[in-house]
Amino acid sequence: MKKQAIKQLTMTLLSVVLICYLVLQLALNVGDIVEIEHATYASAVKKTELKAFVFRNETVMTTSATGVNCFFFDDGERIRRDERVAITYSEARDANVQEQIKDINDKISVLEQSGISSGASTTDISKIDSIISGLMMDIIRAVDKNNLDKAIRSKEELTIQTNRRQALIMSRTDYKEQIKELEREKESLERTLTGASVTHRTSSAGYFYSVVDGYENSFTMDKLESLTISEYDALSELMPDQNLISSAVGKLVLTPEWYIVCEVDKRTASGFDQGRTYNFAFPYSAGTILGMRLVRTVSQTDLDRVLLVFTTREMPQGFNYSRTQTVELITSTYEGLRISVSALRKIDGETGVYAVDGNKIIFKRATVLCEENGYYICALPQDPNYPDRKDRAYVSRTQLSLYDAVISSGRNLYEGKILQ
């Protein structure tokens, strides 16, 4: 019995030794295991968050009429003086009918622009197909960034281009019959409007907005001109004027210039130059980036606080003009090649990466511009024949280049090694 146990133990030990030997042989013969990634083009920005107050030159359109408001213009549309911008209906049913009429007018406008005889820029179907593809990509990108206003605007242009393509295929120049049918439908709806209504017209030209936030009498141009740090603090404590909101039918922004006011310390403020344009990203508006010019600074000798006043004339459609919002000052922009942090190495005092050329390992120098989320952005190699052309996709033998097969992980690596 004892001999049998010794025999079994011996066999077990021999089996373990054999398995270990086979594993060792497999490891020695399986070849070099490395992880490879490709250097791809990427861009990154460095941002500083700031609190901002928004000022615009506005006038509120008030009314004593009660009921349901129906608007004829979208927010941000440019309108003339004495323009009919809204109607207040005493009955909700009439307001619903008017909304249907507005939708019909929008459809008529699209069809009027869809005809080949309406000043189309091209009658080449292949070019129209290219425009349609571009618009579809714009819509996808806008939805991906949660910028639904931009997606809707692109959708209207996409409809126009699709209609033009259909008109070309069917050898017709316009949509007169469809427009006439829509006009008959509109006339039929207009005859059903029987309730009391009040029409609202503009007293001056400007940009119409249907929403009033109750701060229009506080964030004024007069306040901005004489703004002090104590007044700036008081603004942050203000509540919206509910009486103004309840009596308003909309507002006019009289000029395209609008302003933001941000607070920084004196040391930070010393790095800003009056008259210079700085780029801001607006998270409330899907990260829209606008260039804004520094027009004024406000400071006090006894306080380490400085107010920076920036302005722009850009008014993107669908932009969020919330009075108090977080903005991001873009301090630096980087463009280059993205690689994992683990791929960067320092060999003999030089920073670079191991890359695979065929089945051979080579070392290529790399200059790090910035680090972001576990990746480095490295400088693009410069073509010696075109030193001023940074947009050229130049492939260098000694510097990290676009689409290089970079080793991000591996053992016993050295330049000149042949991978098995």
Same domain, 128 and 39: no
Q: CATH number of the domain at 339, please.
A: 2.40.420.20
The answer as to whether 207 is a domain residue is no
CA–centroid distance for 268 within its chain: 27
Same domain, 114 and 187: yes
Six-digit token string for 178: 């469809």
The answer as to whether 384 is a domain residue is yes
The answer as to whether 244 is a domain residue is no
Report the distance separating Cα 282 and Cα 291, nearest Å: 11
The answer as to whether 205 is a domain residue is no
Same domain, 104 and 39: no
List the beta bridge partners of residue 418. 360
Domain boundary among 196, 213, 229: 196
Same domain, 39 and 132: no
Domain boundary among 196, 219, 249: 196
Question: In which domain, by residue range, is 112 found?
Answer: 92-196
Domain boundary among 196, 225, 249: 196
Q: Which residues of 380-407 are buried (b: 16+ CB within 10 A; e: fewer)?
A: bbeeeeeeeeeeeebebeebbbbebebb
Q: Which of 180, 308, 324, 302 shows the shortest CA–CA distance to 240?
A: 324
Instruction: Give the total number of structural domains in the chain.
Output: 2
The answer as to whether 100 is a domain residue is yes
3-class DSSP assignment, residue 232? helix
Burial of 30 (0-12, 13-18, 19+ CB in 10 A): exposed
The answer as to whether 259 is a domain residue is no
The answer as to whether 212 is a domain residue is no
Same domain, 127 and 39: no
pLDDT by 10s per residue, the chain, length 420? 555 656 565 666 666 655 655 555 544 444 567 899 999 998 888 899 999 999 999 999 998 888 788 888 888 999 999 998 988 887 777 767 777 877 877 777 777 776 655 555 555 667 767 777 777 777 777 776 666 666 766 776 777 777 767 766 666 656 777 777 887 877 777 777 776 678 899 999 999 999 999 999 999 999 999 999 999 999 989 999 999 999 999 999 999 999 999 999 999 999 999 999 999 999 999 889 999 999 999 999 999 999 999 999 999 988 999 999 999 999 888 989 999 999 999 999 999 999 999 889 999 999 999 998 899 999 999 887 766 665 556 788 899 999 999 999 888 889 999 887
The answer as to whether 217 is a domain residue is no
Note whether 369 and 337 are within 8 A (CB).
no
